[in-house]
Copies of this chain bind each other. A is one copy, B any other.
Amino acid sequence: MDGRSQGLRGDRRVTLTEVAKRAGVSRSTVSFVLNGRTDLRLSADTFTRVRRAADELGYSPNATAKTLRTGRSGTVALVSDFIGTTSFANAMVRGVLESLHDADTLLYTVDTQGEPSLESKLLRSLINRDVDGIIYGSMFTRTIAVPELLRNVPFVLLNCVSDDPDTAAVIPDEVGAGATAASALLAAGHRDRIWFVGIFPPGTTGGAAWHSWSPLALPERLQGIDGALAAAGTELAGSVAIADDWDVANGYSSVAKLVASGATPSALICINDAVGVGACLALQEAGMRVPDDVSVMAFDGSPLTTAVRPTLTSVALPHEQLGRLAAQLLLDGTAAPRVHRVPMTLSPGHSISAPSSAR
């Protein structure tokens, strides 16, 4: 007695041998027919006999045996720090699943919590299971070092890039997003009193644990903003630092402080939606109307944008497209080994209008 029966329940599984027996042909023939190999010309009669037998028995080939034989498993894995388990970012999973669906491929979801030892163990486990490829991702857009084990298998980076130029990677066009945000404000008539909310406190990239990951969103969005403003012959009036975390509470307190200091911004560009929501709440509590007195622009396009009145205008992260493209590149196998940038588009809300001075 070996444990084989444990995975099953009720009826024994139908095997290729049984189909062959029922159809009165060899196992080879059944395999050829069921895999649609037309290069071998089988008689039409044999063909239909085999198909019928398979149907009648409800035969479905065992994928484990197939994998052992062919080396291909029809599975890929999404390995990341937290993508699979985090709100909102996990829209990337949706995109991945969409692409895989058409390719009849199953997905392992693996979150490593950013722990290298756990990551190694899980990568090894996946490779031992003959995954056809791995999508290696990060919740924050950042630069990562490609784990050695990953090189045993085809892979694509998702929402992160590596130093190695010969690596396929898919990330949002954060620079373009910054330009989009600034351009929208310029188009509305803003120019001289545009502030940015969300730089790291002076002298630190540290502070909160995740700061040490150096999210690319901050420098690249700023770069895009600076570029667009410079092209219009202007620049940011100032920047507000946020310590700890880009959340509602910190957005609120930072902007409350800004307003209390006597600053009179015509528009705020906030590093993300949570900070943008906090900014709106602080402005409104200080008696300033959004957008009549101050316009507010944010990034991410998360559900938080609908949680304020007026709703928040935001440049949306293309999570789903990122996932979809990464999976496509992996499946194609012919992915250009370069960084693929996915555009971020404006998600319209009601927090932007002409500056009050222009009214």
Query: Which residues does A use to contact B, with CB under 8 Å?
Result: 2-11, 60-65, 67-75, 84-88, 90-91, 93-94, 97, 101, 104, 106-111, 118, 122, 124-132, 151-154, 247-249, 252, 274, 277, 281, 285, 303-304, 306-309
Contacts and interface: CB of A to CB of B under 8 A. Distances in A.
Contacts of A111: 94, 97
Contact of A94 (B10, B75, B85, B131): B85
A70 B4 contact: yes
Question: Which residue, of A61, A69, A249, has the highest number of chain B Cβ atoms within 10 A?
Answer: A69
18 contacts: A4-B70, A4-B71, A7-B71, A7-B131, A11-B152, A61-B128, A62-B68, A62-B128, A64-B64, A64-B68, A84-B84, A84-B93, A84-B94, A86-B90, A101-B118, A106-B108, A109-B109, A274-B306
A152 B85 contact: no
A133 to B, nearest CB: 9
Contacts of A124: 60
Contacts of A9: 151-154
Given A8-B152, A62-B68, A90-B93, 11 more contacts: A3-B70, A60-B124, A62-B130, A63-B129, A64-B128, A64-B129, A75-B108, A97-B110, A109-B109, A247-B306, A248-B306
B85 A90 contact: yes
Contacts of A74: 125
Contacts of A151: 9-10
A74 to B, nearest CB: 8
Contacts of A60: 124, 127-128
Contacts of A308: 281, 307
Question: Which residue, of A74, A86, A129, has the highest number of chain B Cβ atoms within 10 A?
Answer: A129
A32 to B, nearest CB: 15
A128 B307 contact: no
B87 A303 contact: yes
B73 A64 contact: yes
A11 B93 CA distance: 31
A307 B3 CA distance: 53
B63 A128 contact: yes
A5 B130 CA distance: 11
Contacts of A109: 84, 93, 97, 107-109
Contacts of A108: 75, 106-109
Contacts of A130: 7, 62-64
